[in-house]
Amino acid sequence: MSRIGKKPVSVPQGVTASVDGQTVTAKGPKGELKFVVNDEVLVKMEDGLIAVDPRDQSKVARSKWGMSRTQIANILAGVKDGFEKKLEITGVGYRATMQGKNLQLALGFSHDVVYQTPDGITIATPKPTEIVVTGIDKQKVGQVAAEIREYRGPEPYKGKGVRYAGEKIVRKEGKKK
């Protein structure tokens, strides 16, 4: 039994949401998002609350129940406030700059890495060692942050590389003489 799925999602102030069959649409100050709910799950809207229920008690329906409720909550939060992921760059000579819509990363390779910003995502570099990824789609923001981090993930000996803000890197001890 899903504890998350039982709780209905309330539509925040300034956001209009509609349920049309299996499609949930949300419009807010930041933009518009749609989510198509799996056929195993039933969605209904009443009194400004969106309720999600499994169609039957099968394992598949119950497993998609809580996920569907969370996806709906994420699109409502996204069109109202948006989402943000911060990345930190650690290492001598490692830095990030914006070149138009492209992110240029100097990560110790023989060439600079150029990352093209996808639609719906905004990337900012307030400091040369800090990257801020923002957007209304939580999945897309996380995916872009993961792709940037993947170019040079943090290594365990000196901690150099790109990491999420607040991420703890388990450090290893180096060679002994």
Per-residue pLDDT tens, the chain, 177 aa: give them. Answer: 668 888 889 998 999 999 998 899 999 999 999 999 998 999 998 888 999 999 888 888 888 998 999 999 999 999 999 999 999 999 999 999 999 999 999 999 999 999 999 999 999 999 999 999 999 999 999 999 999 999 999 999 998 999 999 999 999 998 888
Instruction: List the 41-46 sheet strands across, edge first.
Output: 9-10, 49-54, 41-46
Contact (Cβ atoms closer than 8 angstroms) between residue 141 and residue 160 = no
Which runs of E-coded beta strand occur in 91-152?
95-99, 102-106, 113-116, 121-127, 130-135
What is the separation, in whole angstroms, between the first and last Cα of the chain?
57
Q: What is the pLDDT of residue 129?
A: 94
- Fold classified for 3-80: Outer Surface Protein A; domain 3 (3.90.930)
Q: What is the pLDDT of residue 2?
A: 67
Q: What is the pLDDT of residue 6?
A: 85
- Between β-strands 23-27 and 121-127, what pairing exists: parallel, antiparallel or unpaired? unpaired
- CA gyration radius, the chain: 21
The rounded distance, in Å, linking the Cα atoms of 153 and 141 is 17
3-state class of 141 per DSSP?
helix
Q: What is the pLDDT of residue 174?
A: 86
Contact (Cβ atoms closer than 8 angstroms) between residue 21 and residue 44 = no
Q: Domain limits of the chain?
A: 3-80, 83-164
CA dihedral defined by 43, 47, 49, 55, rounded to 10 degrees? -20
The rounded distance, in Å, linking the Cα atoms of 89 and 130 is 6
CATH class of 83-164: alpha beta
The rounded distance, in Å, linking the Cα atoms of 72 and 50 is 8
